[in-house]
Amino acid sequence: MNIEVPDWSTTELDVMRVGLGFVVIRMFSGIQTFRPSGEAPFPVGIARLLDLRWAASRYAVRWMQYGAYAAALCYAAGLVVPFALLFLAAAALVEVSFRSSYGAVNHGQHLLAVVLVAQAAAMALWNAAAQWDWNLSHVLADSQQATAVWWAIQAIVCVYFTSGLSKLLNTDAHWIRRSPALLLSAYGRIDTDEMVAKGGWQTSRRSDALISWLFDRATLAQAVFAAGLFVELAAPIGLLGKIALTGIGIALIALHKGNRVLLGLPFPEFQWLVFIYLVNLPQFLR
Amino acid sequence: MSSIDAVTLAAAVGGSCAAALAGWAAPDRRTSHDQRVSRRRRGAVMTIVVAGAAAASVTAPVVSVFWALLALNFTLGRRENVPFSTYPMFSNPDTTAWSLRFEDPNGQAVKIGKIGLAPHIVRKRFATELRTARRRGNGDESAARQVAAEVLATLIEEHRPPGGPLAASPITIVLVEYILESGRLRTVKTPIIETSPR
């Protein structure tokens, strides 16, 4: 079985570009929700090397937001794409590092940062190879944008596989056996949902019954969580071709839907990015 | 070259799924001696994963980004160096979980969402403040909880509306712990602090 970089039509690539622009705007429109000040108690990533306290100021937030909106629109429109991507990758890195450094780890936005960095790196390498005639035909696709998409897909698949592998490594491979304990955090989430203004509470009460039912059936709970783990571990199969990618994409979205019901974690950014790059609906409209 | 790419992916998926199944079938013991051994074993397995991924990133060029990122995730990502991470959320299911409740004098949950405080953000803020208080404190857990809850109490008073039922009502911050004991759920509720309009 041979693997080749998939062949995407111009329409597919355009839809992916517009889709990513939408996800970026969605992320940056909500970045003010957690803005602590003072010294970062848990510096991560670039915050270990650079002082990111400037990112707490309203002025910096506004500048980052408007810059991201402009860059996302340029990117979606196909204008100055490499520069737009560089700005977005840098802004996402700063934002996610800043928030994580104050304890608000958000892996949903983390994935977006990974995708943006992968795309920026792909564009930079593709342009360098074109400029200096490097022969990187196995790593790079025919066009700059197809290369960026291929790298983004590999990055997304890697994130899921890493997550699955972490579960095995951190439990000496006993994760499925221990997984019913995850239902405990679902009870905590129901408490949290009860205090939102409206809506979420009723949904939580409905899933409360399912969680209690599963809690009394450990083997069934293990089987449910095992299905999720196997979807994560099987994610690399998607790299075999476009149809495999679509299948894995649908399975991953189903995994997130299940997580929403059982653990209260929707991870919308993950679902959007999987839908855009892995499911890739426009391929069926040709 | 590209068939090698497929072989590396098949090995990764097959190997990891087989390990997951074997772990499911094998008995799970958690003694302190086992944990010491498992830490060493984990380090060795992680080294193999990183070395294998780094080698595959060279030998499997079509999917080299996947392999390179995997190697980086398990080297740089172990200390959460954005964008590298091992994504440890839910990777080690614990037999305890906790949540915060904001209760009125009748023990009913206060919808803090109505005063502009997102409960999950407030929970994260409490966790952050608690970790900081623990690091600065002398090991007194209840004192650390008190310090962390005071930050939230200030936040509540800043957001308290001037009128309506929440304007004057005292609010108690309660820590709720869920503990799994012999397959049974035990719930412990600990009131930490009560806050009133200042």
Q: What is the DSSP string of B56-117?
A: HHHH-GGGHHHHHHHHHHHHGGGG-BTTB----TTSS--SEEEEEEEE-TTSPBP-GGGGT-
pLDDT of amino acid A156? 98
* Residues B65, B122 within the same domain: no
* Residues B190, B100 within the same domain: yes
Chain B residues touching residue A192 (CB < 8 angstroms): 99-100, 119-120, 123
pLDDT of amino acid B3? 87
**Interface membership of B43 toward A (CB under 8 Å):** no
Q: Which residue of A has its CA nearest to B111?
A: A195
Residue B18 or residue A105, greater confidence: B18
pLDDT of amino acid A33? 56
Q: Residue B31 sits in which domain range?
A: 2-79
The alpha-carbon gap from B157 to the nearest alpha carbon of chain A, in Å, equals 16
Q: Which residue of B has its CA nearest to A179?
A: B93
- The count of structural domains within chain B is 2
Interface touch A180/B93, C-beta < 8 Å: yes
Burial classification of residue B43, based on how many CB atoms lie within 10 Å of its CB (0-12 exposed, 13-18 middle, 19 or more buried) = exposed
Model pLDDT for residues B129-141, shown as the tens digit of each residue: 898 889 887 788 9
The model's pTM: 0.88
Interface touch A175/B23, C-beta < 8 Å: yes
pLDDT of amino acid A224? 95
**Interface membership of B115 toward A (CB under 8 Å):** no
* HEC secondary structure over chain A: CCCCCCCCCHHHHHHHHHHHHHHHHHHHCCCCCCCCCCCCCCCCHHHHCCCCHHHHCHHHHHHHHHHHHHHHHHHHHCCCHHHHHHHHHHHHHHHHHHHHHCCCCCHHHHHHHHHHHHHHHHHHHHHHHHHHCCCCCCCCCCCHHHHHHHHHHHHHHHHHHHHHHHHHHHCCCCHHHHHHHHHHHHHHHHHHHHCCCCCHHHHHHHHHHHHHHHHCCHHHHHHHHHHHHHHHHHHHHHHHCHHHHHHHHHHHHHHHHHHHHHCCCCCHHHHHHHHHHHHCHHHHHC
Residue B128 lies in a domain: yes
User: Which of B82, B117, B101 lies closest to B178 in space, CA to CA?
Assistant: B101
Interface touch A100/B120, C-beta < 8 Å: no
The alpha-carbon gap from A284 to the nearest alpha carbon of chain B, in Å, equals 24
Alpha carbons within 13 A on the beta-carbon side of A177: 18
pLDDT of amino acid B194? 92
pLDDT mean by block of 10 residues, chain A; 286 residues: 88 96 93 70 86 87 94 96 96 91 77 96 95 89 94 98 96 93 84 67 67 88 96 97 97 94 84 96 87
* Residues B72, B116 within the same domain: no
The answer, yes or no, to whether residue B1 has pLDDT greater than 50, is no
* Residues B137, B190 within the same domain: yes
pLDDT of amino acid B147? 92
State percent of chain B over pLDDT 70: 95
* Residues B109, B38 within the same domain: no
Residue B24 lies in a domain: yes
Residue B15 lies in a domain: yes
The answer, yes or no, to whether residue B149 has pLDDT greater than 80, is yes
pLDDT of amino acid A24? 96
**Cβ-proximal residues to B162 (8 Å cutoff; 6+ apart), any chain:** none
User: Which of B82, B118, B73, B116 lies closest to B100 in space, CA to CA?
Assistant: B118
Round the average pLDDT of chain B to a whole number and report it: 88
Question: In B, residues 132-191, which contact A (CB 8 Å cutoff)?
Answer: 132, 135, 176, 178-180, 183, 185, 187
Chain B residues touching residue A191 (CB < 8 angstroms): 99-101, 109, 176
**Cβ-proximal residues to B48 (8 Å cutoff; 6+ apart), any chain:** none
Interface touch A177/B13, C-beta < 8 Å: no
* Residues B21, B61 within the same domain: yes
What length does chain B have? 198
* Residues B101, B187 within the same domain: yes
Distance CA(A31)–CA(B121), nearest Å, equals 12
Residue ending a domain, among B79, B107, B123, is: B79
Chain A residues touching residue B6 (CB < 8 angstroms): 1-3, 240
Structural contact between residues B109 and B101, judged by C-beta atoms closer than 8 angstroms: yes
Q: Which residue of B has its CA nearest to A149?
A: B65
pLDDT of amino acid A112? 94
Residue B168 lies in a domain: yes
The answer, yes or no, to whether residue B142 has pLDDT greater than 70, is yes
The alpha-carbon gap from A120 to the nearest alpha carbon of chain B, in Å, equals 13
Residue ending a domain, among B79, B104, B123, is: B79
* Residues B71, B101 within the same domain: no
Bridge partner list, B175: B100, B190
Interface touch B99/A102, C-beta < 8 Å: no
* Residues B32, B110 within the same domain: no
Structural contact between residues B189 and B175, judged by C-beta atoms closer than 8 angstroms: yes
Local confidence band at B79 (pLDDT 50, 70, 90 cut-offs): confident
Residue B9 lies in a domain: yes
* Residues B144, B188 within the same domain: yes
pLDDT of amino acid B33? 66
* Residues B68, B106 within the same domain: no
Residue B88 lies in a domain: no
User: Which of A54, A217, A34, A44 lies closest to B84 in space, CA to CA?
Assistant: A44
State percent of chain B over pLDDT 90: 46
Residue B85 lies in a domain: no
Local confidence band at B95 (pLDDT 50, 70, 90 cut-offs): confident
* Residues B59, B113 within the same domain: no
Residue B189 lies in a domain: yes
Average pLDDT over every residue of B31-47: 79
pLDDT of amino acid A164? 97
The answer, yes or no, to whether residue B181 has pLDDT greater than 70, is yes
User: Which of B53, B54, B63 lies closest to B16 in space, CA to CA?
Assistant: B53
Residue ending a domain, among B79, B110, B144, is: B79
